[in-house]
Each structure stands twice: as structure tokens, then as C-alpha cells.
Amino acid sequence: MDRGEGGGDLQSLFGGRMSKYYAVEQIAKAMKPQLVNGVWQKPKLSARRIARIRKECLRYGTINGIQAQWNPEWDKPAKSWIPKSPKGHAFDNKLAERVALIDKNLKGMDKLIEETRKEAYLTKPHTFLDIKLDADDYDEFFEIGKRVTSKARKANRAAEAAKAAAKAAAKATTKATAKTTAKATAKSAAETAKEPAKEAEKKEKVNEKQKMGKEGAKKEKGKEAETDKK
């Protein structure tokens, strides 16, 4: 590729638009933003043109036909950023707090150990006289260590079975009584609910009879009056 085709000079590349930027210093200024009257202005050259100038300078060593070297300061500065420190794990981050808490609790640990050991010693019985049994526990306590024959075991099993059967029968009877009481209460409630209706029916019948009696008496009086007139 010839230099003319590849962009040897800026005037041929951009059709004479770059005539006022022939000087390398002016081109360098045009590639950077300028502070004018306290206000920053955009670069006069676009990013596309700056890229073509940079390519020409690095490839051919010229800028607009003038021998020059590319200055790295003319490049667009990359964004600078500081990486954040890793958060780490909560177990590692709170290690100092846990150690401080453990040290604080260990200060009075000797006294706590002595007190707990004393309480445990005092609460446990150490002789037969210290043992306090309830009335129901005496038999079980004295049966410990005794030899039990097969007959005694069978008798105990039979007694336990009889107790279980008695409990089951008692439960069944209680359920039956509960059912019967529930039925009786339901019947009584139904009867009490029907009583006012029955009383109302009786009153209606009595009223009807009274009305019928009054009407019959009136008819008889009318007949008697007719006979008297005749």
C-alpha cells in the first residue's frame, strides 16, 4: 500500500480540512481538550481522526508528511481506579471480637466451675439417709437386686394385663355413658323446643271451639226470635 493511499499526509486524507493543523504542536493541541477562560472545551479533532493520525505516525513515522514520533502523552488517558480490598469471610473478620468475648468470659470461669461443682455435690445423695423417696417409690427401690422367679414374672404380667383390661373397660363405659347422656340431652332439648309449638296448637283449638260455641248460640237465639214473632 502506498503512503498516499494509506494516509501519508493529512491534507490528502481529509480533503484539505487539516491545512491549519500542519504544525505538529498545533496538531498535538487539537488532539487534547483545552481550558479556555476557565471552561474546558472538547478536542478540535474527533477520535476517528486522532486514531488515523496515530496510526500514520506509528506506521510511517510522519504526521501530515512531517517527520515526527508519537508521544504517549497524546493518547487518551485510561481510567484510573483503585480496586477495593476483599471483604473476606465473617468468620475471619469477627475473630478479634470472639477472642475478646472468650477472654472476658474466662476471667470468672474458675469461680463458676467451683460453684457448679459445689451445687452438683450438694444436690446428689451420698448416703442412704440422704435419699428421699416418695411413698410410691419404696417398693420399686427395695425390689432392686432381688431375684424374680418365672412364676412371679407371670403373675406380674397377668396383673398388668388385668389392669390394662380394667382401664379399657372403664374407658368404654365412660364413652358409652357420654353417648347416652348426649342422646338424652338432645332429646330433652328437642322436646323443650316442641313444647311451645304444642301449647300454641292447644290454644288455637280452644279458641276455635269457643268461636264455634258463640256462633251456635247466636243461631239458636235467632231461631227463638223468629218463633216468637210468628
Residue-wise pLDDT for 172-184, tens only, equals 998 888 888 888 8
Q: pLDDT for 203-216, tens place per residue?
A: 887 778 777 776 76
Measured in whole angstroms, the distance separating CA 6 from the mean position of its chain's CA atoms is 68
pTM: 0.29
What is the reported pLDDT for 15?
Answer: 45
Q: For residue 63, give the 3-state DSSP assignment.
A: strand
pLDDT level of residue 4 (50, 70, 90 thresholds): very low
- The answer to whether the beta carbons of residues 64 and 9 sit under 8 Å apart is yes
From CA 63, how far away is CA 8, in angstroms rounded?
Answer: 8
Q: How does pLDDT run across 97-109, given as a tens digit for each residue? A: 999 999 999 998 9
CA-CA distances (angstroms) from residue 89 to 86, 92, 94, 140, 177?
9, 5, 9, 58, 68
DSSP code per residue over 97-111: HHHHHHHHHHHTHHH
State the pLDDT confidence band at 135, using cuts at 50, 70 and 90. low
Residues 6 or more apart whose Cβ sits within 8 Å of residue 66 = 22, 24
Sequence spans of domains, the chain: 24-74, 90-183
Q: Please tell me the predicted confidence (pLDDT) of residue 89.
A: 94
What does residue 198 show for φ and ψ, rounded to 5 degrees? -65, -45
CA distance readout (Å), 61 to 69, 70, 123, 144: 6, 8, 99, 110
